[in-house]
Structure 1
Amino acid sequence: MTTIAILRERAAGETRVAATPETVGKLAKLGATVRVEAGAGQSASIRDADFADAGAAVGDLSGTVNGADIVLGVAAPEPALLDGAKPGAIVAAICDPFGRRDNVDALAQAGYEVLAMEFMPRITRAQSMDVLSSQSNLAGYKAVLACADNFGRAFPMMMTAAGTIPAARAFVMGVGVAGLQAIATAKRLGAQVSATDVRSATREQIESLGAKPIFVDKVEGIEGEGSGGYATEMSDEYKAAQADLVSSHIARQDIVITTALIPGRAAPRLITDEQIATMKNGSVIFDLAVAQGGNVEGSVPDTTVERHGVKIIGYANTPAHLPADASALLARNFYNFLSAFWDEEKGAPVLDEEIGDAIRLTHSGKVVHDRLSS
C-alpha cells in the first residue's frame, strides 16, 4: 500500500497546505495511506482533527515521513526534512527549479524523484492538475481587492444627491489566468476596465469580459505566444511601440495591475519610473510579478512603496493571502494528478511519457529535465 506524506510548510509567509480533508478522503479511497504532519493545515483553517476525521494519521515530522512513498508539498522540501522516506520516493510540489536549483540538485543527490507541478503541460487532459492556473486565478482576484483597499476612492460610479462619483479606471497588463480574473473582478466592482497583452489572441477574451483591449497594431512580433500558451520575449520594435502606447494610456488610469511573467526568466519591465510619474496622485499599482524581479520599477515584495504620489504594492506570495481556498484548489490539483495515473494493481501512480517527462526533474540520482541541463 502506498503511503502519502503531507508536510507542514516551512517557508516564511507560506500559509497553504498540499491536502485537505476532502482530498485525504479521496486518496484513501484509492487505497493509499495518508499521513499528515501536525499543524500542516493550521494557517489554512484546517485542524488536525479534521484531517484525522477524514482518515489521515496525524503526527510529528519523523512519523509522517518515515516509509513514505510519495511526499506532497506546496514548496519542494529540503532533503533534511525527508529523512526516513523510502529510497526513490516521489516528491511532488511547486519546485521553483530556476530559483531553487540548489535544492533540486540536493534532492536528486538524495535519490528522490522530484516532480515540478508548475511544469504541468497546458493540455486539455491536464487542466485539472494545473497548479499555476488554480493559484493564478486567486492571485488575480486578490490583486484587485488589494488595490481597492489601498485606493482612496470608490470603484463603481455612484450617483448621489450630493453629486456623482466617477468610476475608477483599471488597466490590466498581461491577460493570462491572473489577468483575466483581475479583469472580471474589477468589472464586478464597477470599474471601467482596459487590458493589454503581447498575444493578439487575447483580444477576444478581453472583449468577452466587457473590457477595452489596448493593443499595438501593425508591428512585428504581435503574436507573442510561445509553446504551452505562455508569452514569449518580444521584438525591440514591438517593445518600443508598446512603451509608447502604455505611456499614453497609463497616465489616465487609477488602478494598474501587472501580471507578466516569462517562465525561467526575470519578469519583464512593463512600467518605468517616468511612466509612474505621469499617473494621477493617489493611483495604485499592483505588481503580481514582484517576487520574480517585478514588472514595475521600484516595486518591493510585501512592501507599499510610494513614488510620485502613486502606491506600488505586491505580495511575494499572493495566493497565500487566501489560504483556505488556495489550499483547496491546490489539493484538488494534486489529487487529480495522482488519481489520473493511479494503477489499481500496483496501488501507486504510473506516469505516462507526455506528462511524466514534462514534470519530472530528477530520476535515479540525476537531474533529467532538459530545461535544467547545464
Structure 2
Amino acid sequence: MKLGVPRERATGENRVGLVPETVARLARLGFEVLVETGAGREYNPDSAYEEAGARVLQAREEVYGESDAVIKVLRPSPEEAEMMHDGQLLVCFLNGPMYPELVARLAAKGVTVFSLEAIPRISRAQSMDALSSMSSIAGYKSVLLGANALGKYLPMMTTAAGTTRASKVLVLGAGVAGLQAIATAGRLGAEVTGFDVRPEVKEQVESLGARFLEPEREEPEEEEEPYEEYEPKGLARIMVALGFNSFAEPPEEREKNGRKTSAEAESMKRTGGYATLQPEEKQRQDRELIRRELRTTDLVITTAQIPGRRAPILITREMAEEMAPGSVIVDLAAESGGNCELTEAGKTVEHRLVKIMGPVNVPGMMPIHASQLYSRNMENVLKHLAPEGELSLDFEDEITASACIAHAGKIRHEPTREALERGRG
C-alpha cells in the first residue's frame, strides 16, 4: 500500500502528516511512503525521509496520483480534491458538518474519507485520537500566549521593590485542552480556577492543584418542630379503648423494609443542587458564576467546543467589560465562532482595555512535537485500517464505522448529510 504525504499549504500550517521516525516503522510493516519535497519543512528535511525509506517526489500531483492513501493534517483544498482518484483513502482533520460540499465532492470521486474528529472516545481508540493530542498542545500553548500578552507575572514574585501577587487564571472547559491549560498555568505559579458544566470533572481539576468553580451550597438550618402529644382518633381511639395500646402510638414514618415515604422521596428529588437544575436555570446560574469570577481574573483561557457546531458563548460583551483593565482572554474556540462574544478569529481585539485573543491553528505553532504526536496517531490508524498492509474496512467495528464519513460514493456520516441537505435546501 502506497502512502502519500503532501506538503500542507494552508496559511500557518507547519505540521506534516508523517515524520521520518514513523515512516521507518511503516516501511518495516510493508508500506511504501511517498513524500512531497519540503513536506517536513526545516525540522524534517527531505534527506531524513529518504534515510527512513521514503521516496521524495517533486510535485504534489505525483504524490496524489501514485498513492493509495493520502495522509494529511488539514482537509484538502479544492485543487487537491480534484487530484484524488477513485478507491483512494484520505485520512485528515476534515470536520464534515462544517464542509459538507467538500465531502460530497470527494465521495463523488470514489474517495474513502476517514475524518479524525469522528474517532470515538473509547479506550481502544486512544492511540488514534489525534484530536486529543492536538488539544493537549493547544492547551499548553494557550497559557504561554496569554502570559506573553499579560502585563503581569503569573507567579507571585518577591523582589527588593516588594512582592507581587500571583495572577489569577480562569480556564473554562475541563476537557483535554482545558486540563492541560490548568496544569501549565499551575506549573508557572498562577492561582488557577477551572470550570466545566460537568460537575463530575471537579476531581480532575482539583487533582491538578486548581480550584473548581461551583456555586456555594448553603446548608438549610434545621428547625425544631414543636412537640405535640399524639391523640388517637377514629378507629385508633376505639382500638385503644378495647385494650390495643399499640394504637396509642403515632404511625411509623418509615416502614421496617426501608422504603421511603412519598414526602421523603420528594425531598430527595429536590436535593443535588447544581447538578440537578433545569437547563435554563443552570445556564443562568453558570453565567452569573463566571461573571463574578471574571471581575477578579487576570487571564482567561476558553476551550469549549461542540463538534460540527458553533462554539457556545460563555463570555458576553457585558461580562468582558466588567473585567479589570489589562486582563486577557485567550479563546481557543476562535475558529468555530469563539466562546467570547468579542472574539475575532486570527486577531487580537482590545475592548475597553481588555485583550481578546482569537488564535487559530494553535497546534501548528508547535509543529515539531505536534507532528510527532500526530504521526504516531496516524501510524495506529493505518494499522487499524490496513493491518496487513492492505486496506481492509470492517464497518462492524465501532472505530471504522464512526470515523469513515464517506465510502463507495456515499456519505456515511449523518451530521454531514444533514448539513449538506440544509445547505442545498
* Aligned residue number for residue 167 of structure 1: 166
* Aligned residue number for residue 58 of structure 1: 56
* Aligned residue number for residue 92 of structure 1: 91
Report if aligned partners of 1:68, 1:86 keep a CA contact under 8 Å in 2: no
* Aligned residue number for residue 236 of structure 1: 280
* Aligned residue number for residue 177 of structure 1: 176
**Does the C-alpha gap of structure 1 residues 215 and 161 become closer, same or farther in structure 2, counting only changes over 3 Å?**
same
In the TM superposition, 1:1-374 aligns within 5 A as: 2-42=1-41, 45-59=43-57, 60-78=59-77, 80-81=79-80, 87-216=86-215, 222=275, 235-344=279-388, 347-351=390-394, 353-374=397-418
Tell me by how many angstroms 1:290 deviates.
Answer: 0.7
Counterpart AA for 2:320: I
| Higher Cα radius of gyration | 2
Aligned mates of 1:52, 1:14 — CA distance in 2 = 23
Aligned mates of 2:65, 2:119 — CA distance in 1 = 28
Report if aligned partners of 1:255, 1:284 keep a CA contact under 8 Å in 2: yes
Aligned mates of 1:104, 1:84 — CA distance in 2 = 14
* Aligned residue number for residue 266 of structure 2: none
Tell me by how many angstroms 1:349 deviates.
Answer: 4.6
Tell me by how many angstroms 1:61 deviates.
Answer: 1.2
Counterpart AA for 2:157: M
Tell me by how many angstroms 1:180 deviates.
Answer: 0.2
Report if aligned partners of 1:8, 1:39 keep a CA contact under 8 Å in 2: yes
Report if aligned partners of 1:67, 1:86 keep a CA contact under 8 Å in 2: no
Counterpart AA for 1:48: D
Tell me by how many angstroms 1:357 deviates.
Answer: 0.6
Tell me by how many angstroms 1:340 deviates.
Answer: 3.4
Counterpart AA for 1:222: A
Counterpart AA for 1:322: M
Aligned mates of 1:22, 1:62 — CA distance in 2 = 25
Counterpart AA for 2:341: E
Tell me by how many angstroms 1:159 deviates.
Answer: 1.5
**Does the C-alpha gap of structure 1 residues 239 and 111 become closer, same or farther in structure 2, counting only changes over 3 Å?**
same
Counterpart AA for 1:207: E
Aligned mates of 1:260, 1:223 — CA distance in 2 = 21
**Does the C-alpha gap of structure 1 residues 153 and 78 become closer, same or farther in structure 2, counting only changes over 3 Å?**
closer
Report if aligned partners of 1:220, 1:238 keep a CA contact under 8 Å in 2: no
Report if aligned partners of 1:258, 1:286 keep a CA contact under 8 Å in 2: yes
3-state SS of 2:34 partner: strand
1:129-175 deviation per Cα after TM superposition (whole angstroms, max 9, x unaligned): 00110000000000000011001111111112221011000000000
Tell me by how many angstroms 1:83 deviates.
Answer: 5.7
Aligned mates of 1:167, 1:77 — CA distance in 2 = 44
Number of aligned positions between the proteins: 362
Aligned mates of 1:222, 1:372 — CA distance in 2 = 32
* Aligned residue number for residue 231 of structure 1: none
Tell me by how many angstroms 1:84 deviates.
Answer: 6.3
Aligned mates of 1:368, 1:111 — CA distance in 2 = 13
Report if aligned partners of 1:303, 1:314 keep a CA contact under 8 Å in 2: yes
Report if aligned partners of 1:198, 1:223 keep a CA contact under 8 Å in 2: no
**Does the C-alpha gap of structure 1 residues 17 and 223 become closer, same or farther in structure 2, counting only changes over 3 Å?**
farther
Tell me by how many angstroms 1:223 deviates.
Answer: 7.4
Aligned mates of 1:295, 1:309 — CA distance in 2 = 19
Report if aligned partners of 1:79, 1:107 keep a CA contact under 8 Å in 2: no
Counterpart AA for 2:100: R
Tell me by how many angstroms 1:220 deviates.
Answer: 7.6
Tell me by how many angstroms 1:356 deviates.
Answer: 0.8
Report if aligned partners of 1:170, 1:192 keep a CA contact under 8 Å in 2: yes
